[in-house]
Amino acid sequence: MKSLNVDKHVKFLVKAATTRGFEWEMTEYLRMSGIYWSLTALDLLGQLDQLPREDMISYVFSCLSENGGFSPAPNHYPTIIYTLSAIQVLVILEATDKLGEKKLKVIEFVKSLQNSDGSFIGSPDDDKEETDTRFSFCAIATLKLLNSLDEIDTSKTVDHIKACQNFDGAFGVRVGSESHAGQVFCCVGTLALLEKLETIDQELLGWWLADRQLPCGGLNGRPMKKEDVCYSWWALSSLVMIKKSAWIDHKKLAEFILSAADDEIGGIADRPGDIPDPFHTLFGIAGLSLLQYNNSLDLEIVSKTSDIKLKPIDPILCLPSYLLRKI
Ligand code: FPP
Ligand code: ZN
């Protein structure tokens, strides 16, 4: 099996988070999540101090709106997705106390997005007012990280998520929508955070998730789709949450993730031969962490700093586990 070249990945992640230019401008609409992906990957590799902490914290607060939501970048509108990313960044930097009284505003923002049937919209500024199980997960995860789950009606949230389980055992964007492993992560994660995983058919879901592994070892997000490294997170973490990760071949999955790493410039792509990006780099490394600590995978790590170990990751909140023990 190929080894994980930590120094190359660290260089790639730092460059992506600090180099101004065309790519930086083009990714403005998702920047807050980009910072979360890079910081989390660096922390898993034991290199959090490679990015300037105070600048990161100032950036997060420059994206806080009057209504308590966070936007991806200043002058964009706030959504629940970037609000979760902002809170995840503050958790990684151990800076949630800097929210002070603004924490109540953030909680009000999250509450304002819930519909009477328990579903969530993504933003009050979104004219379409569409609901999405991604928004349910982001809302519940944000409240969990702020220790404020008792602020909303979680039983309605659970009812809505349960209504989204399809005949094949998996979940989609809304009731009756096509099953998709990204939405499975969101629905299973929401139920795990609310300690209601026992209320769904986990056997059927386990079969659907295990079926995502292709002969190349990689996982796809839906039947008939190509393998993609990010599903090493969305599908594998869901299997870990329902305690069925042994239903797939972990050595083959690890080999697939490592084969999508760029040996020249560092970083991990969606599949071998494609261009690496911070999103797939995080979910590749996070997948390797899950494999190492849930299936005792023997991963070889190379770095000039000889004692580097991959840190364990929390399968629900996608943050290094040591941080969650602290809050
Ligand atoms: C696939 O998207 C992924 C999803 C639908 C899941 C998105 C999850 C969140 C926004 C929650 C994030 C939270 C954490 C903790 C990481 P895609 O559009 O790439 O799907 P495709 O492969 O079908 O194109
Ligand atoms: Zn992907």
For residue 100, the CA-to-ligand 2 centroid distance in Å is: 36
Q: At what angle do helices 80-92 and 102-112 cross, to 10 degrees?
A: 150
Separation CA 282–CA 288 (nearest Å)? 10
Going by C-alpha positions, the residue among 238, 222, 236, 244 that lies closest to residue 291 is 236
- Domains along the chain with CATH numbers: 202-327 (1.50.10.20)
Farthest-apart Cα atoms in the chain, separation: 55
pLDDT at 196: 98
Q: Is any ligand 1 atom within 6 A of the Cβ of residue 280?
A: no
**Taking ligand 2, which is a single-atom ion, which protein residues have CB atoms under 5 Å away?**
228, 230, 270
Q: Could you say which DSSP state residue 303 is in?
A: -
pLDDT at 298: 81
In angstroms, the Cα distances linking 188 to 26, 126, 165, 173, 241 are 32, 25, 10, 13, 7
Choose one of 84, 138, 185, 236 to mutate for the ligand 1 pocket test, by most ligand atoms within 8 angstroms of C-beta.
185
For residue 261, the CA-to-ligand 2 centroid distance in Å is: 14
For residue 153, the CA-to-ligand 2 centroid distance in Å is: 33
Separation CA 133–CA 87 (nearest Å)? 19
Q: Is any ligand 1 atom within 6 A of the Cβ of residue 186?
A: yes
Q: At what angle do helices 202-210 and 231-241 cross, to 10 degrees?
A: 150
- Whether 17 contacts 278, CB under 8 Å: yes
Per-residue pLDDT band at 306 (split at 50, 70, 90): low
Q: How many CA atoms lie within 13 A of 133 on its CB side?
A: 30
For residue 298, the CA-to-ligand 2 centroid distance in Å is: 25
Could you tell me the two tokens for 82?
A: 């970037």
What percent of the chain is predicted at pLDDT more than 70? 100
Separation CA 247–CA 257 (nearest Å)? 18
Q: Is any ligand 1 atom within 6 A of the Cβ of residue 183?
A: yes
Q: Is any ligand 1 atom within 6 A of the Cβ of residue 234?
A: yes
Q: Is any ligand 1 atom within 6 A of the Cβ of residue 82?
A: no
In the three-class reduction of DSSP (H, G, I as helix; E, B as strand; rest coil), residue 165 is classed as strand
Separation CA 89–CA 95 (nearest Å)? 8
Read off the pLDDT of residues 140-195 as tens digits, 9 standing for 90 and up. 999 999 999 999 999 999 999 999 999 999 999 999 999 999 999 999 999 999 99
Q: Is any ligand 1 atom within 6 A of the Cβ of residue 318?
A: yes
Separation CA 272–CA 184 (nearest Å)? 25
Round the average pLDDT of the chain to a whole number and report it.
96
Choose one of 144, 186, 238, 313 to mutate for the ligand 1 pocket test, by most ligand atoms within 8 angstroms of C-beta.
186
Read off the pLDDT of residues 198-225 as tens digits, 9 standing for 90 and up. 999 999 999 999 999 999 999 999 999 9
Q: Is any ligand 1 atom within 6 A of the Cβ of residue 137?
A: yes
